[in-house]
Structure 1
């Protein structure tokens, strides 16, 4: 079920999209979705996706960059980008952009955030092409933290995967954060890295033998 903030954001998205004639079916989708009218919303979305098949690349790219940028600012696309929109428009357009401009960091960023192929590799490529891509840094760090938190969630009973590898990844996460301006989010991530390091080191101190972890 959608929460209030999702519905408010969809309504605002619909208002902005309605300013573009060619985006009006998407605006109707977002507006209907914000009112809980799911069937009607997806009917509009289907019409919109069908119309985009006749768009030039630049038109498709303009819409995709707009929507992805809006979602990034909101904290995620969520219900504004259901699977049909991702599969039929967002992902294919980003792939075509990358084919046309292999050195474009933004295309790698969006493909990573859309969880395409190897998402971490896309974000790493975005950073290699544009070291100032703070969004890629923050997301990579968050994924590292989440993975290692999972590896440690059965402690003190057992450790999933090799904690030595986790310490290497935590060092990478710390290096990534070195290039990000301080904020509440970054401070939280730094504290989590410290705690995850402590847990990994404690396990290794108590279980120094190689292979003393659960490999699954």
Structure 2
């Protein structure tokens, strides 16, 4: 659920949207939603989608990249990407992008970042790996994959010291991969956190350390370092 802070951020984001050519049309919905005006928000969202679905593909891509950046500030990132926006705009646009540019890494990164289990049965890890097959050096995909792998192992260990979900050897391998990926993360603090967390989770998976079962579930698609 969106926090009170998220609703305040929506209204602030509306001002930024007004200054952005593509996102301008999203501002009325952000203002109404942030102000708790349900009827107006529903109407504004319908108007936005009718307009946005008619945009050229390049314009839809530009909006999705803007939205990806904007949602990083929110506690609940679904707050500004409601179900209709995902199903009628974000996911269809990314799928068309992949079909038109099969060698492009960015639409796969964005699928990982916008991932919603209710709408996409493909794990974020798969999307980030698809991006890395197209560009092995792209930092955003390396970072996304690192957090996705940590998220998997966090989940597998969240009932420790009781049940262990998944395969311990596979989780050891996942954390070994995160230890490598963490070196590519440009933010020094974040890189250090990933390294520490991977070592801790690896120890639990290998049976070398005992977990109390506390999980932070840190998966975060992250603030983009650059744009496609």
Q: TM-score w.r.t. structure 2 length?
A: 0.78
Corresponding residue for residue 191 of structure 1: 196
Name the CA distance, whole Å, in 2 between partners of 1:26 and 1:13.
Answer: 10
1:120, CA displacement in angstroms? 1.6
1:117, CA displacement in angstroms? 5.0
Residues 155-191 of structure 1, C-alpha deviations (whole Å, 9 max, x = no match): 3333222211111111111121122235222222211
Corresponding residue for residue 66 of structure 1: 66
Between Structure 1 and Structure 2, the one with more helix by share is: 1
Counterparts of 1:33-182 in structure 2, within 5 Å, are: 33-72=33-72, 77-115=77-115, 116=120, 118=122, 119-182=124-187
1:98, CA displacement in angstroms? 1.2
Distance 1:54 1:181, change over 3 A: closer
Name the CA distance, whole Å, in 2 between partners of 1:173 and 1:108.
Answer: 19
Structure 1 regions of 5+ residues with no counterpart? 205-216
Q: TM-score w.r.t. structure 1 length?
A: 0.82
Distance 1:76 1:4, change over 3 A: closer
1:23, CA displacement in angstroms? 4.8
Q: RMSD of the TM alignment (CA)?
A: 2.4
Name the CA distance, whole Å, in 2 between partners of 1:4 and 1:75.
Answer: 10
Task: Provide the secondary structure at the position in 2 that maps to 1:42.
Answer: helix
Structure 2 regions of 5+ residues with no counterpart? 210-228
Q: Which has the higher contact order (CA 8 A, sep 6+)?
A: 2
* Preserved CA contact (<8 Å) 1:25 1:45: no
Corresponding residue for residue 222 of structure 2: none
* Preserved CA contact (<8 Å) 1:144 1:169: yes
Distance 1:72 1:203, change over 3 A: same
Task: Provide the secondary structure at the position in 2 that maps to 1:178.
Answer: helix
Larger radius of gyration: 1
* Preserved CA contact (<8 Å) 2:179 2:199: no
